[in-house]
């Protein structure tokens, strides 16, 4: 489904075979409304196939009869054991005909070569990740300019990818990765869990590939394309980092190693690194910021940013509530569909019974009436459930944006951390400078200079120079992250408006379509039983 | 509504001297809570309009309570064996539900239906007890009601019969006979099985209907909650899109209201008629029990009479002086046996007529129920479609 087929005329209803749902929505908009909507393809969309079955039914309504269009119920993704997704989730780029499609499939159990005393070793699951793309960075294998390739990765690799992206793309809204589940190995291998994880991985990678900046990242490319072991530095755990840092600390404190933060280090956050001393310094600085009477040299002055932050906090709250209520709605729709089906079944049994045991004609008539109601109830039940399957997909937007709020927190944290680094360096500089001043004052009193003091001053001046460099870098980094924040928040707003708009529209159109269908079913029964209406009030 | 329908087909005895059609119209209205605390109960106004000569006056209004209706039902059951007595709504087991508006209205409706069915039944409408019920003042009614207390209302002969029934049942069990004496009528057997199975099917349908009521309420609530959350989301958008969200919230609220209303309609007009149907089948089962008892009585009395005859013959041969005594006994027993046979045959005949009536009436009743159900669901679905459709132009207009 790489190529959009958007040039259908007003007869969109009759012949749509393979077409992107959103393209139909926008073409519907084009044919029925003068306002041609913007092609809403900048975020993830799912391509589904259409069924023509509904087109034969009459619509009781004046056009546009949304019933005709909606019905193309999305084919449901089969949840099969081997994890093959029936329809790949696809991303299309706004600007060009660039595309990248990622499918995660074929989970397999593999054995870790264990050095431990425990026999049998550790088993883990790997997934086959197949990518098709025509993006230049990935090279191409055929004349169409697109490439297709597969790699096997385990979940740990995904965690590594996520962490490296977090390092490289500070300030960006990076899609949150699927949760690590700390569960027993037995559950880990259960089919349901593996299938859930497969789906989550597919969604995650596709989201990464649809982020305008991250899709071009080397980390992602390497993850998707490079065979064999993932060539990205893995995140070491907290403990070994602390250990490394603890080893370095005494040297740093006793001045045996250069205690200045270099420019290179300044652009990395302190917390993830091994430099304990730096972590302590920044911690001290943040405490000073919080409790200190005087304002730190550089503050978060951006009022606009603060307002934005407030607004986003509100948004998160509202999203959380809406997400929860959406779940409640989905459940209620599910339940009514089920009960309607059971009611239908009960009446079918009753009708069958009366027909079989009929002695009088009145029984046969009654059985026929009951059967009509039963058939309608069963049909309505099916419609409720189909409608609900669509509702789930539409309202998923809420859950996704709620998840994205996490990424917002991270992006803001990147900014705060960068600012903290700047503030720490500035404090450091100021204290270094005052030490130099003190030494100069003391040394000037001694005639001919003080060899030790002079040496010390030289060292300090060198440290100041290095620290100045680091400070400049840190400021640049902070500004860069601020800029990333700003751009990403703008993108978030734009995409959110778009996605929410589509969500509402999709939801509403779906509800209209199915409600019409259900109404038709019952209207027919009411007509068939209209003779009884004459007798009632 | 039922009243009108059933009365139009009723065969009232054309004994009235007046030229207008004989009619008897009853309605149960105006439930009022009386009394305090545990003693509290609901009283209803029963309004009778008639031109029948048996009734004193053309219009009468009396106050009745649920136990008065039960009294009437019990009297009718006693005197009209073989007739399917119209069923009464159940006594409510749950205390707190007893005075809810919903329950009161359901009960009122059911009582109204009950009285009208009695009043339009060709045999039952002749009942003296019905006339008492519709006309007697409250004190008289209360006296009558309190006099009939369970077992004490039975005549001594009935009591004897009850003991005999129990006795024979016990001896049957003791002797290893599984079932008491039963008719060997294969068609009747079939009918009995039909009735029992019908009750099961209907009970299941009623159960699902009740659940469907609940589901409508739940969906209404969920939609309302969701709409409110969406509205809040929209408030922070602020622009055209925000307005669309707000409209969404309003429509959700409106639909929620419609769903609640439909739930209420379903309770009154879909679930209740199914419950009523189940009760009617249970009434048939009660008649079946009466028939079984009458059959047994007939058999036993016939047996007893025959034995006495044989005894008499022996005595005649022996030229015993007990002969005249026993002759009289035989005559009496023969009469009783014939009476029991007659009673049984009446029940059989009535039951057959009643069955035809029952099936026909139920087809009409269920037809109406089905029709109203389909209409209600169609209306609801259309309302839902219309409400959502109204949002679309605005949604199109604020395409970002």
Q: Least CB-CB distance to B388: which of A329, A343, A508?
A: A508
pLDDT at site A288: 73
- Choose from B8, B112, B113, B201 for mutation: most chain A CBs within 10 A: B201
Angle among Cα A20, A26, A31 to the nearest 5 degrees reads 120
Helices (H), chain B: 2-8, 66-79, 101-120, 128-135, 138-147, 156-174, 186-237, 240-266, 272-317, 323-389, 392-397
User: B226 touching A, CB under 8 A?
Assistant: yes
Contact residues, chain B, for A503 at CB < 8 Å: none
Determine the length of chain B: 400
Say which CATH class A100-113+121-225 falls into: alpha beta
Contact residues, chain A, for B392 at CB < 8 Å: 66, 505, 508-509, 512
pLDDT at site A237: 59
- Choose from A317, A329, A378 for mutation: most chain B CBs within 10 A: A329
pLDDT at site A452: 80
Question: Of A466 and B226, which is predicted with more confidence?
Answer: B226
Minimal C-alpha gap between A480 and chain B (Å) = 28
Secondary structure element (H or E) that encloses residue A353, with its range: helix A303-356
pLDDT at site B12: 41
pLDDT of A50 > 90? The answer is: no
pLDDT at site A252: 63
Q: Given its phi and psi angles, is residue B34 left (phi above 0), alpha (psi -120 to 50 degrees) or beta?
A: beta
Minimal C-alpha gap between B300 and chain A (Å) = 32
Residues in Cβ contact with A25 at an 8 Å cutoff, skipping those fewer than 6 apart: A37, A40, A502, A505, A506, A509
- Alpha carbons within 13 angstroms on the beta-carbon side of residue A307 total 4
User: A35 touching B, CB under 8 A?
Assistant: yes
3-state secondary structure at position B273: helix
Residue matched to tokens 């084919």: A75
- Choose from A61, A62, A338, A350 for mutation: most chain B CBs within 10 A: A350
pLDDT at site A450: 72
State the DSSP code for A111.
E
Taking alpha carbons only, the member of A331, A377, A316 closest to residue B221 is A331
Distance CA B36, CA B23 (A): 39
pLDDT at site B8: 37
Taking alpha carbons only, the member of A319, A347, A335 closest to residue A381 is A335
pLDDT of A52 > 70? The answer is: no
CB B248 within 8 A of CB B205: no
Contact residues, chain B, for A509 at CB < 8 Å: 392
Percent of chain A with pLDDT over 90: 28
Average pLDDT over residues B330-341: 92
Rg (Cα) of chain A, in Å, rounded?
Answer: 32
- The Cβ of residue A88 has, within 10 Å, a number of other Cβ atoms equal to 18
Q: Which residues 296-325 on chain A approach chain B with CB closer than 8 angstroms?
A: 311, 314-315, 318-319, 321-322, 324-325
- Choose from A28, A325, A352, A494 for mutation: most chain B CBs within 10 A: A325
Q: Across chain A, what does the average pLDDT equal?
A: 76
B199-230 pLDDT tens trace: 999 999 999 999 999 999 999 999 999 999 99
A243-289 pLDDT tens trace: 666 666 666 666 544 456 666 677 777 666 667 777 777 777 777 77
Distance CA B282, CA B292 (A): 15
Q: Least CB-CB distance to B208: which of A314, A343, A370?
A: A343
Most confident listed range (A199-203, A311-315, A521-525): A521-525
pLDDT at site A534: 62
Exposure letters B307-330 (e unless 16+ CB within 10 A, then b): ebeeebeebeeeeeeeeeebeebb
What would the two tokens of residue A102 be?
């990622």
Chain A residue whose CA is closest to B379: A519
CB A109 within 8 A of CB A189: yes
Helices (H), A154-300: 155-168, 185-188, 191-210, 218-225, 238-253, 263-266, 276-291
pLDDT of B337 > 60? The answer is: yes
A57-88 pLDDT tens trace: 333 333 344 444 444 444 333 333 333 333 44
Distance CA A250, CA A290 (A): 28
B78-109 pLDDT tens trace: 999 999 999 999 887 666 666 788 888 999 99
Q: Least CB-CB distance to A328: which of B222, B373, B400?
A: B222
Average pLDDT over residues A10-22: 38
Q: Least CB-CB distance to A501: which of B226, B241, B370?
A: B241
Q: Which of A19-28, A483-492, B44-53, B74-83 comes out lowest in average pLDDT?
A: A19-28
Taking alpha carbons only, the member of A154, A130, A11, A149 closest to residue A69 is A11
pLDDT at site A66: 46
pTM, entire model: 0.77
pLDDT of B28 > 80? The answer is: yes
Ranges of CATH 1.20.1270.60 domains, chain A: 248-535
Question: Of A41 and B54, which is predicted with more confidence?
Answer: B54
Q: Which fold has domain A248-535?
A: Substrate Binding Domain Of Dnak; Chain:A; Domain 2 (1.20.1270)
Q: Going edge to edge, which strands form the sheet with A89-92? A: A18-20, A45-49, A89-92, A99-111, A123-133, A147-154
Distance CA A500, CA B395 (A): 11
Taking CB atoms and an 8 Å limit, are B244 and A501 in contact across chains? yes
Q: The complex's ipTM?
A: 0.85
Taking alpha carbons only, the member of A100, A425, A461 closest to residue A282 is A425
Distance CA B193, CA A357 (A): 10
Torsion of CA A378, A382, A385, A388, to 10 degrees: -120
pLDDT at site A281: 77
Q: Least CB-CB distance to B1: which of A311, A519, A537?
A: A537
pLDDT of B152 > 90? The answer is: no
Ranges of CATH 3.30.1520.10 domains, chain A: 100-113+121-225
A161-196 pLDDT tens trace: 999 998 889 889 999 888 877 655 566 567 778 888
A211 burial class (0-12, 13-18, 19+ CB within 10 angstroms)? buried
User: B233 touching A, CB under 8 A?
Assistant: yes
Q: Least CB-CB distance to A504: which of B371, B381, B395?
A: B395
Q: Going edge to edge, which strands form the sheet with B41-50? A: B24-34, B41-50, B59-65
pLDDT of A421 > 50? The answer is: yes
Contact residues, chain B, for A512 at CB < 8 Å: 385, 388-389, 392
Taking alpha carbons only, the member of A345, A54, A90 closest to residue A202 is A90
Q: Which residues 346-385 on chain A approach chain B with CB closer than 8 angstroms?
A: 346-347, 349-350, 353-354, 357, 359-360, 362-363, 365-366, 369-370, 372-373, 376, 380
Task: Measure CA A217 to chain center.
Answer: 17
pLDDT at site A122: 76
Distance CA A267, CA A210 (A): 26
Exposure letters B46-75 (e unless 16+ CB within 10 A, then b): bbbebbbeebeeeebebebbbebbebbbbb
Q: Which of A218-222, A353-357, B110-114 comes out lowest in average pLDDT?
A: A218-222
Q: Least CB-CB distance to A512: which of B194, B211, B389?
A: B389
Residues paired with A46 in a beta bridge: A89
Chain A residue whose CA is closest to B363: A366
Contact residues, chain A, for B374 at CB < 8 Å: 373, 376, 522-523, 525-526, 529
- Taking each continuous run of H as one helix and of E as one strand, the counts in chain A are 13, 6
A with B: how many residue pairs have Cβ under 8 Å apart?
215
pLDDT of A40 > 80? The answer is: no
Minimal C-alpha gap between B45 and chain A (Å) = 22
pLDDT band at B167 (very low <50, low <70, confident <90, very high): low
pLDDT band at B255 (very low <50, low <70, confident <90, very high): very high
pLDDT band at A43 (very low <50, low <70, confident <90, very high): very low
What would the two tokens of residue A83 be?
């994890």
Residues in Cβ contact with B173 at an 8 Å cutoff, skipping those fewer than 6 apart: none
pLDDT at site A24: 36
User: A408 touching B, CB under 8 A?
Assistant: no
pLDDT at site A34: 38
Q: Which residues 346-385 on chain B approach chain A with CB closer than 8 angstroms?
A: 355-356, 359-360, 362-364, 366-368, 370-375, 377-378, 381-382, 384-385
Taking alpha carbons only, the member of A203, A228, A73 closest to residue A149 is A228
User: A291 touching B, CB under 8 A?
Assistant: no
What would the two tokens of residue A162 be?
């996520």
User: What DSSP string describes A429-487?
Assistant: HHHHHHHHHHHHHHHHTSTT--HHHHHHHHHHHHHHHHHHHHHHHHHHHHHHHHHHHHH
pLDDT band at B181 (very low <50, low <70, confident <90, very high): confident
SS (H, E, C) A208-220: HHHCCCHHHCHHH
Angle among Cα A533, A535, B1 to the nearest 5 degrees reads 110
Chain A residue whose CA is closest to B382: A519
Crossing angle of helices A451-528/A21-32, nearest 10°? 70
User: B9 touching A, CB under 8 A?
Assistant: no
Q: Which residues 243-262 on chain B approach chain A with CB closer than 8 angstroms?
A: 244-245, 248
- Alpha carbons within 13 angstroms on the beta-carbon side of residue B113 total 22
What would the two tokens of residue B274 be?
């199914």
Distance CA A346, CA A342 (A): 6
Phi, psi of A107 (to 5 degrees): -65, 140
What would the two tokens of residue B135 be?
């006309």
Q: Across chain B, what does the average pLDDT equal?
A: 86
pLDDT at site A141: 61
pLDDT at site B155: 54
Minimal C-alpha gap between A238 and chain B (Å) = 39
Residues paired with A130 in a beta bridge: A103, A150
Q: Are strands B24-34 and A45-49 parallel, antiparallel or unpaired?
A: unpaired
Residues in Cβ contact with A457 at an 8 Å cutoff, skipping those fewer than 6 apart: A436, A439, A440, A443
pLDDT of B327 > 60? The answer is: yes
- The Cβ of residue A347 has, within 10 Å, a number of other Cβ atoms equal to 27
pLDDT of A94 > 50? The answer is: no
Question: Of B212 and B56, which is predicted with more confidence?
Answer: B212
CB A51 within 8 A of CB A72: yes
- Choose from B215, B376, B391 for mutation: most chain A CBs within 10 A: B215
Minimal C-alpha gap between B64 and chain A (Å) = 26
Q: Which residues 487-526 on chain A approach chain B with CB closer than 8 angstroms?
A: 494, 497-498, 500-501, 504-505, 508-509, 511-512, 515-516, 518-519, 522-523, 525-526
């Amino acid at each position: 489904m790489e190529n959009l087929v958007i040039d259908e005329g007003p007869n969109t209803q009759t012949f749509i075979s393979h077409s992107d749902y959103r393209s139909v929505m926008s073409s519907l908009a084009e044919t029925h409304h003068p306002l041609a909507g913007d092609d809403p393809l900048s975020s993830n969309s799912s391509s589904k196939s259409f069924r023509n079955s509904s087109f034969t039914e009459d619509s009781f309504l004046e056009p546009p009869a949304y019933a005709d269009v909606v019905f193309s119920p999305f084919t449901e993704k089969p949840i099969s054991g081997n994890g093959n997704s029936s329809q790949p989730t696809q991303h299309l780029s706004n600007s060009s005909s660039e595309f990248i499609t990622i499918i995660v499939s074929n989970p397999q159990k593999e054995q870790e070569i264990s050095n431990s005393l425990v026999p049998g070793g550790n088993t883990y699951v790997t997934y086959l990740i197949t990518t098709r793309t025509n993006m230049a960075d990935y090279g191409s294998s055929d004349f169409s300019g697109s490439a297709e390739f597969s790699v096997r990765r385990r979940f740990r690799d995904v965690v590594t990818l996520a962490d490296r992206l977090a390092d490289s793309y500070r300030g960006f809204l990076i899609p949150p990765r699927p949760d690590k589940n700390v569960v027993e190995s037995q559950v880990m291998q259960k089919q349901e869990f593996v299938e859930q994880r497969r789906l989550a991985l597919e969604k995650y990678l596709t989201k990464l590939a649809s982020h305008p900046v991250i899709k071009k990242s080397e980390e992602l490319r390497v993850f998707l394309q490079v065979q064999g072991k993932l060539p990205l530095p893995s995140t070491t755990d907290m403990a070994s980092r602390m250990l490394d840092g603890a080893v370095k600390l005494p040297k740093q404190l006793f001045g045996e190693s250069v205690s200045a933060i270099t420019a290179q280090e300044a652009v990395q956050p302190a917390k993830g690194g091994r430099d304990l001393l730096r972590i302590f310094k920044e911690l001290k600085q943040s405490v000073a910021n919080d409790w200190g009477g005087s304002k730190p040299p550089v503050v978060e002055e951006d009022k606009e940013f603060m307002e934005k932050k407030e607004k986003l906090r509100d948004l998160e709250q509202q999203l959380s509530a809406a997400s929860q209520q959406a779940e409640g709605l989905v459940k209620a729709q599910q339940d009514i569909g089920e009960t309607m089906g059971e009611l239908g079944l009960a009446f079918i049994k009753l009708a069958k019974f009366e027909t079989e045991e009929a002695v009088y004609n009145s029984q046969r008539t009654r059985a026929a009436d009951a059967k009509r109601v039963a058939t309608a109830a069963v049909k309505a039940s099916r419609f409720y459930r189909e409608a609900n399957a669509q509702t789930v997909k539409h309202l998923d937007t809420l859950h996704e944006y709620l998840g994205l709020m996490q990424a917002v927190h991270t992006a803001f944290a990147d900014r705060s951390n960068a600012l903290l680094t700047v503030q720490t360096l500035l404090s450091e500089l100021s204290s270094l400078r005052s030490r130099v001043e003190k030494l100069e004052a003391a040394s000037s009193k001694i005639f001919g200079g003080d060899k030790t003091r002079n040496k010390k001053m030289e060292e300090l001046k060198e440290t100041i120079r290095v620290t100045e460099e680091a400070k400049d870098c840190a400021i640049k980094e902070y500004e860069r992250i601020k800029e990333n924040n700003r751009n990403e928040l703008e993108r978030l707003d734009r995409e959110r408006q778009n996605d929410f708009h589509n969500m509402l529209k999709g939801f509403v159109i779906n509800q209209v379509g199915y409600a019409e269908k259900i109404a038709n079913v019952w209207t027919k029964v009411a007509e068939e039983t209209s003779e009884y209406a004459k007798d009632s009030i | 509504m039922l009243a009108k329908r059933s009365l139009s087909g009723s065969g009232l005895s054309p004994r009235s001297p007046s030229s207008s059609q004989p009619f008897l119209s009853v309605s149960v209205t105006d439930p009022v809570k009386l009394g305090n605390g545990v003693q509290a109960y609901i009283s209803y106004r029963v309004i009778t309009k008639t031109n029948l000569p048996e009734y004193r006056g053309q219009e009468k209004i009396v106050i009745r309570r649920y136990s008065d209706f039960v009294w009437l039902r019990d009297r009718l059951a006693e005197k009209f064996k073989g007739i399917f007595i119209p069923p009464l709504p159940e006594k409510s087991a749950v205390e707190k539900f007893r005075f809810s508006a919903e329950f009161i209205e359901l009960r009122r409706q059911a009582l109204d239906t009950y009285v009208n069915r009695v009043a339009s039944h060709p045999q039952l409408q002749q009942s003296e007890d019905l006339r008492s019920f519709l006309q007697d003042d409250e004190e008289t009614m209360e006296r009558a009601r309190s006099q009939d207390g369970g077992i004490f209302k039975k005549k001594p002969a009935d009591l004897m019969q009850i003991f005999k029934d129990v006795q024979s049942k016990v001896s049957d069990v003791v002797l290893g006979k599984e079932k008491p004496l039963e008719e060997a009528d294969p068609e009747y057997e079939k009918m009995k099985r039909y009735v029992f199975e019908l009750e099961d099917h209907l009970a299941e349908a009623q159960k699902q209907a009740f659940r469907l009521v609940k589901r409508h309420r739940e969906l209404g609530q969920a939609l309302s909650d969701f709409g409110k959350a969406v509205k809040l989301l929209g408030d922070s958008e602020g622009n055209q899109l925000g307005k669309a969200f707000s409209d969404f919230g309003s429509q959700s609220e409106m639909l929620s209201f419609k769903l609640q209303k439909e739930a209420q309609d379903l309770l009154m007009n879909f679930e209740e008629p199914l419950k009523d149907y189940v009760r009617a089948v249970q009434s048939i089962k009660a008649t079946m029990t009466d028939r079984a008892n009458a059959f047994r009585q007939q058999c036993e009395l016939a047996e007893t009479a025959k034995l006495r005859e044989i005894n008499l013959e022996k005595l005649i041969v022996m030229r015993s002086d007990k002969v005249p005594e026993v002759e009289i006994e035989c005559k009496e027993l023969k009469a009783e046996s014939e009476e029991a046979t007659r009673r049984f045959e009446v029940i059989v005949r009535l039951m057959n007529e009643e069955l035809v009536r029952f099936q026909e009436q139920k087809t009409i009743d269920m037809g109406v129920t089905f029709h109203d159900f389909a209409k209600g669901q169609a209306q609801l679905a259309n309302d839902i479609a219309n409400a959502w459709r109204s949002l679309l132009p605005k949604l199109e207009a604020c395409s970002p």
